[in-house]
Amino acid sequence: MGKESGLGDNFYSGGYDLSGDTNSLSNISCPKTVDEVPGIDVYAQERIELTRDGQIEWVSYFNPAASRAHPVLSALPTSDVVVSYFRGTTLGNPVACLVGKQINYDGNRPTSGALRMQVQALANGYGLEWGRSLTAGKRTDSAATNGASIDTTASASFGGQAYLQVFAFTGTDVTIKIQDSADDSTFADVASLAFTQVTAAPTTQRIAISNTATIRRYVRAVTVTTGGFSSVTFAVMINKNQIAGTVF
């Protein structure tokens, strides 16, 4: 795969699709705190890694329509929000997610008359995570569905984390869960990688499994129901850890 532009990206926050109201993303980062620990017998600095952080900063247009940028972002919720940046809307593309606090909604109106809002979300409890999309941007199911799989090239026994954004829902209930397979033919549920049952939207969630759990090569997102549903629109990302000892 060659170099890519940032054209055709999507941006979601708190179960709302803000892609069309987002001008740009100025910072997607996972800074780490370090402790400087040089001994008196060394000639250069030594450091050990401490806590992991995360932040996403973006510029939003002022759109006061229902469920668009202004009513969603100006609310400045005190609870955590899930923010997701989808690098394109092709299945398996990179995605950056964090659970964090939206800390501002700052307007800038120059003499030209343009109106832009500066917004920042700072991670809370977990650092920013890069993973891969299990939906091609937003996906809409009208009944229980087995989604298409992605190839992660190999099985790994280092656990993983997953993020869910649900934008719209009609029906009684739906459960969105992650399945894996060794051969891209026979799939099974990944233990503890099922999101909480959805009965209303918008909603978001982050789930994680032990960093010693195995996730096989092929991975997909599926929907199941007990009471039925007629429509659910959602997006899923998985971060399948690639090294031992990863703790988010």
- Structure token pair of residue 29: 């980062």
- Average pLDDT for 158-169: 97
CA atoms within 13 A on the CB side of 229: 27
User: Quick one: pLDDT at residue 246?
Assistant: 78
Write out pLDDT tens, residues 151-160.
Answer: 999 999 999 9
Q: What is residue 55's three-state secondary structure?
A: strand
User: Quick one: pLDDT at residue 17?
Assistant: 98
Number of domains comprising the chain = 1
Please indicate, yes or no, if residue 200 is contained in any of the structural domains.
yes
Torsion sign across C-alpha atoms 122, 127, 128, 133: negative
Please indicate, yes or no, if residue 4 is contained in any of the structural domains.
no
Please indicate, yes or no, if residue 41 is contained in any of the structural domains.
yes
Please indicate, yes or no, if residue 153 is contained in any of the structural domains.
yes
For 119, phi then psi, to 5°, come to: -135, 145
Q: What is residue 222's three-state secondary structure?
A: strand
**Residue 1 pLDDT class (50, 70, 90 cuts):** low
Please indicate, yes or no, if residue 149 is contained in any of the structural domains.
yes
Write out pLDDT tens, residues 174-207.
Answer: 999 999 999 999 999 999 999 999 999 999 999 9
Closest by CA to 240, choosing from 197, 203, 190, is 190
User: Quick one: pLDDT at residue 220?
Assistant: 98
- Structure token pair of residue 111: 């003499």
Q: Domain limits at 175?
A: 10-240
Please indicate, yes or no, if residue 73 is contained in any of the structural domains.
yes
Please indicate, yes or no, if residue 177 is contained in any of the structural domains.
yes
Q: How many helices (H) and strands (E) does the chain have?
A: 1, 20
Write out pLDDT tens, residues 216-244.
Answer: 999 999 999 999 999 999 999 999 999 88
Write out pLDDT tens, residues 58-92.
Answer: 999 999 999 999 999 999 999 999 999 999 999 99
Please indicate, yes or no, if residue 147 is contained in any of the structural domains.
yes
Q: Which residues contact 148 (CB under 8 A, 6 or more apart)?
A: 91, 220
